[in-house]
Amino acid sequence: MDLKDKIRVYEDFPKDGISFKDINSLILNPKAFQYVIDEMAKVAKALDANLVAIPEARGYIFGTPLAYLIGAGLVPVRKPGKLPGEVSSVAYDLEYGSNRVEIQKKAIKPGDRAIVVDDLLATGGTLMATTRLIEKLGGEIAGIITLIELTELGGRDLLKDYFVHSIVTYPY
């Protein structure tokens, strides 16, 4: 299936010079959405993971059905202040400023193997922060799976120590 036909591209959104890849048109199409989840599951099953970690918010779209299909637990990775109980956090840099991601401390146990699933790999900041957070809590990264990768932004280079699989690639 040609998924690029299902992903609408908006030029100069949200600002001039950005070519925005909109997944809403893909997830609206049941066959395309099922195809993506099935493709992710083929890769994920070989990674021998017991958890799927999903960065807020679009990682939830793909990681939730994937965790169900492979029989793995689901670990939400949230922005600060969104999770109850004890949390662990990691800060990371953005183009303009910084942010943090958090996981409940009891969600990851030493020896857990997690697949990180998100919609997009661009610069890799959020995915790298998520991997660091999982490792900080004693977990291992089985791999990273994304729907889209913007290859010219260098995210794969940042994540060079991990297995990374993207379903669709764009130069930018």
Q: Which residues are catalytic?
A: 58, 95
Strands 113-121 vs 51-55: parallel, antiparallel or unpaired? parallel
Tokens 């729907």, located at residue: 147
How far apart are alpha carbons 128 and 150 in whole angstroms? 15
How far apart are alpha carbons 105 and 134 in whole angstroms? 10
